[in-house]
Amino acid sequence: MKLCIREIEEVLGAKAVLQPTGALPAPDAEADLSCAEFDSRRVLPGGVFFAESGERTDGHKFIASVFEAGAALVICRKTPQEVESEFGIPAGSWGSYLVTPDPYAAMRRIAAFYRSRLRIPVVGITGSVGKTSTKEMIASVLSRSFHVLKTEANLNNDLGVPVTLLRIREEHTAAVVEMGISDFGEMRVLAEMVRPDVAVFTNIGQCHLEQLGDRDGVYRAKTEMVEYMNPEGTVCAFGGDDKLAGLLREQEAGEPRMQGKTLRYFGWDGDGTDLPLDVRITECESKGLEGSEAVLEMDGMLQMIRVCVPGAHMVLNAAAGACVGLCLGMTPGEIAEGIEALQEVGGRGHIVQAKDLTVIDDCYNANPASMRASIDLLGMAEGEKAAILGDMFELGAEELRLHEGVGVYAVRAGLSHLICVGERCAAMYEAAAEAAEESAGEGYTDIRYFADKEKLLKALREDREDLLPSGCAVLVKASHGMHFEEIVKELLG
C-alpha cells in the first residue's frame, strides 16, 4: 500500500508517537504500510489498525493483539493509560500510536487522500436491489481486461468503503466499490471518498423507507453519488426504472450535477421505456437453474452471452456489466467472456444441492422487489417448490402491506409450501392464507407460520418432512438481521 505514517500525520494534522514494540524497532515513518483495517483479525505485520469504541465492542480491547501481530501503528481514541485503566492492557506494551477524537472519521479522511492519488478507473455501485450481485458481475466482466479490486462481502458502508479503497494496491488496474446507504447524507460521505469515474445505479425501490420516506427520497439520497463523481465520468443506469429516468431529465434540463457527464442506460428491449438504451437485452432464454442465454445489443453490435447464474435479474446484471465494460473500452467478445465466468455468491441466490433438497440460499438481505425476484427464481426449479421467508426490515409505515403483497405473490406463483417466519411475517402469512383460499382448486399451497427462527429450527429438527418433502427446492430469504443462514445450515445438515 503506497501510504506511510508521515502522510497519515499530514492528512490528520496530528503527530504519532513512534516507539518500539517488544523486540521490534520503532517503524520508519516513511515506509509503506502493509494494510489499514478496523478488524483486528485482518491486521498484517506493518499495518495500521483503527481502534474505536463501538456499540457492540470496543476496538481498544484488541490493541495488544494487533501489536503482537506486528502492527506498525494504531490510530485510536483512548490513550495507553486510559486503555490500561479500562482493560488492563499495560501502557508499556504499546507500540506506535496516534490518538484522535474520531478514529473512523480519520480512516475516511485517509481513504479519501489515498483515493485522490489513484490513477485507475473506479466504479461505484448503488441501488435498492442487486448491488452485490451487480458488483460481482461488473468485477467478473472487467477481470477480462483489468486486475480488479472489488468490495468484499458486505463492506459497503462508511466503515467498509474506506477499507476497500485502502486495499487497492499497485497491481490493481481497476476497482469496483459497492456503496450502501439507509439515510440522507450517507451517500455524500461515501462518494466523497470513492469519487467514482463510473457511477452505476441498479434501481430505485422500496428500501429504507423509515428514513427515506418514499421512492423519491430513495432517488435523491442515492443519486448524491453523481455530485461527487468524476466531473467527466459516466453514469450507467437501469433504463426500466421510472425514477432513474430522472437522470436524463436532469441532463436535458442542464442541471449542474449532470453537466459534463456521459449518461448510458441498460435494460430490456420492449419493456415500455422511452429511454435510449446503450445496452439492450434483445433475446433471453431461461435454462432453469442452470442460468440463461441471451443476446445483448451493445452500441448497435449484437453479442450472444451465457449467464451461468439463474434468474432474469442476472441477465439484467450482465447488461449492467456490459455497460461498464463498454465505458472502459472493452470489446463485446471480452465482455461476453467475463459474463460467462461469473460464479454464484453465497447468501445471494446461491444454489446448493443437499442430500434430498435443492436449497436456494438468498438469506443475506431482503426487500419486496428482491423477494419477488427470488420467488421467480424458485419457480424455475422442477418438482415441488417451497419458500421460507422472514421479516423485511426498514420498510416504514407500509411494512405490513408490503409483507402482505409478498405473501400473495408467493401463492400466485404456485409454490407448494410457504413458511413465514417473524413478527412482520404474520401479515404475510394471513394474506397468503386468504389468497390460497380464494384460489382454491387452482393449486395447493401448504402455508405455515412461526413467530421466530428458533421455533422453525426446532420444528425442522423434530420433523422436517412435515414441512419440506424430500426432493423439493426450497428458497430461504429474509433481511440480514434475521440470521437465516442458520436455517440454511440446518437444511444442509
User: Residues 442-468: pLDDT tens digits?
Assistant: 667 899 999 999 999 999 999 999 999
Q: Average per-residue pLDDT in the chain?
A: 94
Residue 364 is predicted with a pLDDT of 80
- Of 175-179, 268-272, 322-326, 331-335, the poorest mean pLDDT is in 268-272
Residues 313-365 have pLDDT tens digits of 899 999 999 999 999 999 999 999 999 999 765 555 688 888 899 999 988 88
* CATH match of 5-103 with 3.40.50.1970: no
- For residue 389, pLDDT over 90 is answered with yes
Residue count of the chain, please give it: 493
In a 3-state reduction of DSSP, which class is residue 161?
helix
Distance set, CA 208 to CA 158, 187, 204, 384, 479 (Å): 16, 13, 11, 33, 12
Helices (H), 167-244: 186-194, 209-212, 215-222, 225-228
Residues of the chain with CATH 3.40.1190.10: 118-340
CA 185 to centroid of chain Cα atoms: 19
Residues 466-492 have pLDDT tens digits of 999 999 999 999 999 999 999 999 999
Tell me the residue ranges of DSSP E strands in 323-374.
Answer: 350-353, 358-361
DSSP 129-156: S-HHHHHHHHHHHHTTTS-EEE--TT--
Q: How many beta carbons lie within 10 A of that of residue 279, not counting itself?
A: 26
Q: Into which CATH architecture does domain 350-492 fall?
A: Alpha-Beta Complex (3.90)
Residue 363 in grid coordinates: 438469506
DSSP 8-state secondary structure symbol assigned to residue 40: G
Residue 443 is predicted with a pLDDT of 65
CATH assignment, 118-340: 3.40.1190.10
- Distance separating alpha carbons of residues 177 and 134, to the nearest angstrom: 11
How would residue 58 be classed by pLDDT, with cut points 50, 70 and 90?
very high
Residues of the chain with CATH 3.40.1390.10: 5-103
Residue 440 is predicted with a pLDDT of 67
Residues 180-192 have pLDDT tens digits of 999 999 999 999 9
Residue 345 is predicted with a pLDDT of 59
Q: In 3D, which of 387, 391, 452, 449 has the Cα closest to residue 413?
A: 387
Tell me the residue ranges of DSSP E strands in 226-291.
Answer: 234-238, 262-268, 279-286
- Distance separating alpha carbons of residues 214 and 207, to the nearest angstrom: 9
Q: 366-391 burial, b for 16+ CB within 10 Å, e for fewer? A: bbbbbbbbbbebbebbeebbbbbbbb
Distance set, CA 152 to CA 5, 136, 453, 493 (Å): 25, 10, 27, 27
- Distance separating alpha carbons of residues 3 and 166, to the nearest angstrom: 9
Residues 127-154 have pLDDT tens digits of 998 899 999 999 999 999 999 999 998 8
